[in-house]
């Protein structure tokens, strides 16, 4: 079979339509029945609800008990996963089959964290030797930078590392470098430039000493416009700062699958860290894309993170559905999205180091599952990815939590917290944890008008101070935010997103939805100063905006 044939929708193995399953009909009936909708009643009916609805997954304790899920709903959700062949889809992904049909690629990010002596075949070739060769290359290079052996062109050791990338080539390492700050070398400043807005480059380079700055150009394709423009400007900055002493090969390395473009940019191919087309951008933190993180935290901590990913992969592969935390999270999300009509998901880490975690998950979830056609090209039969948003607690409490508690839209939320801080001051961490627990309690159980009336003598104010409750949350707790726990958390969400995509019958590994805007931007950028601009080539609104720029 040729690659073309494999890509053709008609050749795709039929994926069950979830809405035609028996389980779907059962779930519709349960949703209409409404027995799930009173958390107070669910807790009263079962004193062991917390135990029954909590799952231990490696070092994470995931408490689903405050979701609007009865035992009957959970059983039907598990039946849905079975009818949709989730286990089989997962096995196909792990074994390197080309499940990304529109790009004719495997989605094998799980191979990036497997041990050296494992074997994973893609088209008959074992990819594990190459995976570990790259990890070895990263280790040697990061040690050279951290030890000062790697010198810039004037002989200075590196003290500033700047990752230039966007999307999956930025969000993962940027998020993880912040998350693991407590494990990072304080004398190496790792920064991230992603936006084509020159303000990003200008502000991130402010105060940097070119002689001791290393740029990591991270781009799978090495053609992404934002990254290439920022890399070109950074190279110019190096020339401006160091003059004749500037040697690009001592200050630039690349993370890419495109060796020709890397070499053309002036980067020594020996300093290109390779990855492969079967690593999706948003799934690439464990690949060479993690180099900036490895320089920050060192190879040992990076390995710990990989072992956390691996442990969660194993949990998913080995746990039956009723105790499989990421798959249960996926099913709860499907219940909220498809049966209770909740279209967003707030992710609220009670952890300042996880302040970019929600942004990271936005790409992971919304770029993976924000789709309207099924794998065979037919329209989806159910709503797909929720709109993922959020900010860390407790900041969010003083901004948008009003709506979470009393707004007319119910927003399910994932709360993530840790029992211990990496560096506590006074009893601040205790306060942080208490706030997370209290918010989940308030969202679930609210405060009735009768209760409010007991403490407020103004009857006109009572409705304003009443909380309806029954706002669903999942609370995930680990002891401490270590590299391994971060790996577990990320893998947890990767597998959750996978399971939802598998049940909806969509391809979670392509991202055609980003293409049209990129293509039109190329035309608009020419029109901004072209002498032959033809206003009729756009709609009236677009042309007016272009004219505005041209006449300024």
Residues that bind ligand F6P (CB under 6 A): 166-169, 219-221, 224, 227, 281-282, 367, 511, 514
Q: Which of 204, 226, 367, 494 is catalytic?
A: 367
DSSP string, 341-399: ---EEEEEES-GGGTTHHHHHIIIIIIHH--SB-TTSSBPSS--PPEEE---TTGGGGT
Q: How far is the CB of 33 from ligand F6P (least distance, A)?
A: 41
Nearest to 277 by CA among 471, 423, 109: 109
Q: Which is nearer to ligand F6P, 165 or 483 (CB)?
A: 165
Contacts of 346 (CB under 8 A, 6+ apart): 389, 390, 396, 404, 411, 412, 413, 414
Q: Which of 322, 464, 480, 518 is catalytic?
A: 518
Q: How far is the CB of 40 from ligand F6P (least distance, A)?
A: 43
- Token representation of residue 515: 């293409």
Q: Which of 318, 398, 450, 519 is catalytic?
A: 398
Largest CA distance in the chain: 78
Q: Which is nearer to ligand F6P, 281 or 349 (CB)?
A: 281
Q: How far is the CB of 395 from ligand F6P (least distance, A)?
A: 27
Q: How far is the CB of 67 from ligand F6P (least distance, A)?
A: 30
Is 496 tagged catalytic? no
Is 518 tagged catalytic? yes
Q: Which is nearer to ligand F6P, 170 or 313 (CB)?
A: 170
Contacts of 531 (CB under 8 A, 6+ apart): none
Is 398 tagged catalytic? yes
Angle at 175 between CA 170 and CA 181, to 5 degrees: 125
Q: Which is nearer to ligand F6P, 195 or 221 (CB)?
A: 221
Q: How far is the CB of 295 from ligand F6P (least distance, A)?
A: 19
Cα gap 292→38, rounded to integer Å: 47
Which residue of the chain is nearest ligand F6P when measured via CB? 281
Q: Which is nearer to ligand F6P, 221 or 542 (CB)?
A: 221
Say how many CA atoms lie within 13 Å of 483 toward its Cβ.
Answer: 24
DSSP string, 137-190: HHHHHHHHHHHT-SB-TTSPBP-EEEEE--GGGTHHHHHHHHHTGGGS-TTSEE
Q: How far is C-alpha 128 from the chain's CA centre?
A: 24
Cα gap 356→490, rounded to integer Å: 12
Q: Which is nearer to ligand F6P, 82 or 103 (CB)?
A: 103
Q: How far is the CB of 166 from ligand F6P (least distance, A)?
A: 5
Give catalytic residues, as residue numbers.
367, 398, 518
């Amino acid at each position: 079979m040729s690659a073309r044939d494999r890509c053709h929708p008609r050749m795709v193995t039929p994926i069950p339509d979830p809405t035609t399953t028996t389980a779907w009909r059962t779930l519709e009936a349960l949703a209409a029945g409404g027995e799930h909708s009173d958390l107070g009643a669910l807790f009263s009916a079962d004193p062991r609800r917390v135990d029954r609805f909590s799952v231990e997954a490696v070092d994470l304790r995931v408490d689903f008990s405050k979701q609007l899920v009865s035992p009957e709903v959970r059983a039907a959700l598990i039946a849905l996963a079975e009818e949709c062949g989730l286990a089989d889809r997962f096995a196909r992904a792990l074994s390197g089959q080309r499940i990304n049909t529109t790009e004719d690629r495997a989605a094998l990010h799980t191979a990036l964290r497997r041990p050296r002596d494992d074997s994973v075949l893609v088209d008959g070739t074992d990819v594990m030797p190459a995976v570990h060769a790259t990890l070895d290359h990263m280790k040697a290079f990061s040690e050279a930078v951290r030890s000062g052996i790697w010198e810039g062109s004037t002989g200075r050791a590196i003290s500033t590392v700047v990752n230039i990338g966007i999307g999956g080539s930025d969000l993962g390492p940027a998020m993880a470098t912040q998350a693991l700050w407590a494990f990072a070398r304080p004398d190496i400043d790792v920064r991230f430039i992603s936006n084509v807005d020159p303000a990003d480059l200008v502000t991130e380079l402010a105060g940097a000493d070119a002689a001791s700055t290393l740029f990591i150009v991270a781009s799978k394709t090495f053609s992404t416009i934002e990254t290439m423009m920022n890399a070109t400007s950074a190279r110019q900055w190096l020339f401006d700062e160091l003059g004749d002493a500037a040697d690009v090969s001592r200050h630039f390395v690349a993370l890419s699958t495109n060796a020709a473009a890397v070499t053309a940019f002036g980067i020594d191919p020996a300093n290109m860290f390779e990855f492969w087309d079967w690593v999706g951008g948003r799934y690439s933190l464990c690949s060479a894309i993690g180099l900036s993180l490895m320089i920050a935290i060192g190879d040992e901590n990076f390995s710990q993170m990989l072992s956390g990913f691996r442990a969660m992969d194993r949990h998913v592969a080995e746990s039956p559905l009723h105790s499989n935390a990421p798959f249960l999270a996926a099913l709860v999300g499907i219940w909220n999205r498809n049966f209770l009509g909740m279209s967003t998901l707030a992710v609220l880490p009670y952890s300042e180091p996880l302040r970019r975690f929600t942004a990271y998950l936005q790409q992971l979830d919304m770029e993976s599952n924000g789709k309207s056609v099924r794998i065979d090209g037919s329209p989806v039969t159910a709503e797909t990815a929720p709109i993922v948003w959020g900010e860390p607690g407790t900041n969010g409490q003083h901004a948008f939590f009003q709506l979470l508690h009393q707004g007319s839209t119910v927003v399910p939320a994932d709360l993530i917290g840790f029992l211990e801080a990496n560096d506590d001051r006074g009893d601040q961490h205790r306060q942080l944890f208490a706030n997370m627990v209290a918010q989940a309690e308030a969202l679930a159980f609210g405060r009735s008008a009768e209760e409010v009336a007991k403490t407020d003598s103004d009857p006109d104010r009572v409705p304003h101070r009443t909380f309806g409750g029954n706002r669903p949350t999942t609370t995930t707790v680990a002891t401490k935010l270590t590299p391994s726990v971060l790996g577990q958390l990320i893998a947890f969400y990767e597998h959750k997103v996978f399971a939802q995509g598998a049940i909806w019958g969509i391809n979670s590994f392509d991202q055609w939805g980003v293409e049209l805007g990129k293509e039109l931007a190329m035309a608009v950028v020419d029109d901004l100063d072209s002498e032959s601009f033809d206003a009729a080539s756009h709609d009236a609104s677009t042309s007016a905006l272009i004219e505005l720029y041209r006449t300024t």
